[in-house]
Chains A and B, each alone.
Chain A
Amino acid sequence: MSSELTSEGGHGAVPTGPEVPVEPKAAATRRDWPLYEVFVRGKRGLNHVHVGSLHAPDDEMAVHAARDLYTRRNEGVSIWVVRAADITASSPDEKDPMFAPSGDKVYRHPTFYEIPENVPHM
């Protein structure tokens, strides 16, 4: 992969940002197998978790490769694969404008409310 692409938010995920080029250099890709990001949900989990990435010739092979690579130790019951190029990630250069403003707004946290006892998953 071209070294100008940063990988914050996932290997090969394409960040937005004014000065980051989106097209990889023509000579950079050695193989025709695109990169996929893998998400696995465990038996007792409610959500899929990012576990890594792999290269595969197409979507169906990617799901099965993920089974072979990322569920060897009985980790999961469900696998999602997404092409890395389809993932849009935040740029690390924009970290401050993106995330700093939410640091000092304590009124957004629901700490002033009492949660009733019979409400699950809170």
Chain B
Amino acid sequence: MPHEETVYEALDHAHGGEGQWAFGTGFDEPLAGVDTTVPDGVDPAELGEYCLMLGDDALVLAQRLTQWITAAPELEEEVAIGNVALDLLGQARLLLARAGSVGVLGRSRSLATESIPDEDALAYFRDPDEFRCTALVSAPNGDFAQTMVRLLVASTVRLAVFARLRESGDPVLSAIAAKGVNELAYHRDHAGRWLLRLGDGTQESHRRAQAGVDAVWPLLAEVFSPTGLEQRLTGIAVDPSSVRDEVRGVLTQVLERATLTVPPWPGDATPRGRLGEHGPELADLLGSLQALAREHPAATW
């Protein structure tokens, strides 16, 4: 019998047969065919940094969610969480590629070899202090109830931002947002459905859901605080303080229907995560994400 081409060989042949970088995200460029010109009057470095903020939120939350793989309570839920994480990874890929397309790469470009795409260089070769995600997404998962609470909060915030980002003056950001709102609506609804059942469920599920809410709520302190960058990018970026009321409204509605107590809203705090100041939990998370790629940066398959 002649040797039948395996799926991997077929993919390799279809893309030039030179070997793909072992830790890469895909075989095609995420922004292929897209006009990546920076709009007039916009500082590319600032645009790129804003893309890192949104992209890192998605990348880190995806990584947190995938910690449930092989450990989810039911098989169906494992696939659902995996799907949410994959959607977020796709958003991260587009946003990090946009940051790379405007030249915002920091130290990562020098650590990654030439053949590694920008978005992969940014994901694997940046140090924690170069990440621009909020404490909301880098916080540990906790139990299933707490995970769903955090997913509800994070996706409600992100959906509100993306809904407004569709009007962005940067056509690439506006397109990414238009694609993302459908995904985020589903994520928010998935988490909301779970929270309704856990909150308005048994005594044990209610206790855990309330504990999850109490643990996640303080993380809202940084989420609506602008850094000044969003305001300088008028018409391009979304000022996070502009979504505060809408997000609070949605979260209150869900929690009340779930018979959960809404904790007092935290006051606005300095958005440390957006400025690169993170706790040790992010370094741990990035350690497991990046370790293999950093050890074998030139590996191909």
Residues of A within 8 A of B (CB): 31, 33, 54-58, 60-61, 64-65, 68-69, 72
Q: Given A68-B83, A72-B83, are A55 and B76 also a contact pair (CB < 8 Å)? A: yes
Identity of the chain B residue whose Cβ is nearest the Cβ of A36 in the assembled complex: B76
Q: State the total of A-B contacts with C-beta under 8 angstroms.
A: 26
**Residues of A contacting B197 in the complex (Cβ-Cβ under 8 angstroms):** 57-58, 61
A-B contact pairs, 21 of them (CB 8 A): A31-B74, A33-B74, A54-B76, A55-B75, A55-B76, A56-B76, A58-B197, A61-B193, A64-B80, A64-B189, A64-B190, A64-B193, A65-B76, A65-B77, A65-B80, A68-B76, A68-B79, A68-B83, A69-B76, A69-B79, A72-B83
Chain B at the A interface: SS class: helix
CA distance A58 to B193 in the complex (A): 11
Chain B residues in 8 Å Cβ range of A60: 193
Q: How far is the CB of A54 from chain B (nearest CB, A)?
A: 5
**Interface majority SS on A: helix, strand, loop or mixed?**
mixed
Q: Which of B74, B75, B83, B197 has the most CB of A within 10 A?
A: B74
A79 to B197, CA, bound (A): 22
B190 CB contacts on chain A under 8 angstroms: 64
Shortest distance in angstroms between B198's beta carbon and chain A's nearest beta carbon? 11
Interface residues of B (CB under 8 A from A): 74-77, 79-80, 83, 189-190, 193, 197
Complexed CA–CA distance, A46 and B79 (Å): 28
Contact partners of B75 in chain A: CB under 8 A: 55
Q: Which residue of A lies closest to B194 (CB)?
A: A61
**Residue of chain B at shortest CB distance from A65:** B76
Minimum Cβ distance to chain B for residue A104 (Å):
43
CB distance from A87 to the nearest CB of B (A): 19
Which residues from A are CB-within-8-Å of B74?
A: 31, 33, 55
CA distance A16 to B190 in the complex (A): 37
Measured CB to CB, the nearest residue on chain A to B82 is A68
Compute how far the CA of A58 lies from the CA of B201 in the bound complex, rounded to whole angstroms: 13
| A-B residue pairs, 10 tightest by C-beta | A65-B76, A68-B80, A68-B83, A68-B79, A54-B76, A69-B79, A69-B76, A56-B76, A55-B76, A61-B193
Give bound CA distance, A58 to B74, whole Å: 14
Contact residues in B for A54 (Cβ distance below 8 Å): 76
- Report the minimal beta-carbon distance from A36 to chain B, rounded to whole angstroms: 10
- Which chain B residues border A57 with CB–CB below 8 Å? 197
- Cα distance, A55 to B75, chains bound together (Å): 9
Cα A5 to Cα B72 in complex, Å, equals: 29
The CB with the most chain B CB atoms within 10 A, among A54, A58, A60, A65, is that of: A65
CB of A11 to closest CB in B, whole Å: 14
* A101 shortest CB reach to chain B, Å: 41
Q: In the bound complex, what is the Cα–Cα distance between A62 and B77 (angstroms)?
A: 11
A3 to B21, CA, bound (A): 49
Shortest CB distance A38–B (Å): 11
**With a CB–CB cut-off of 8 A, which chain B residues contact A72?**
83
Residue of A nearest to B77 (CB): A65
Q: Report the bound CA distance from A61 to B189 in whole Å.
A: 11
What separation, in Å, do the CA atoms of A57 and B79 have in the docked complex? 16
When distances are taken between beta carbons in the complex, the residues of chain A under 8 Å from B83 are: 68, 72
Which residues of B lie under 8 Å from residue A69 when comparing CB positions?
76, 79
